[in-house]
Structure 1
Amino acid sequence: MEILTIGNVPIEEFEIVYSFRKDRLTKPINSNPTILDSKIISNEPKSVGEHLVVQDFQSSNYADVYSRAYLKHSNGAIVY
Structure 2
Amino acid sequence: VDKILKNAPSVPPLSSAEADKTDEKEEKEIRQPVIDKIEVVESEEPLVEPIYPAEESVVESVQPKVEPVELEPEEK
Is TM (by shorter chain) over 0.5?
no
Greater helix share, structure number: 2
Structure showing greater relative contact order (alpha-carbon pairs closer than 8 Å, 6 or more residues apart): 1
Give the TM interval when normalised to the shorter protein: under 0.3
Q: Which has the larger radius of gyration?
A: 2
Counting strand residues as a fraction of each chain, which structure ranks higher? 1
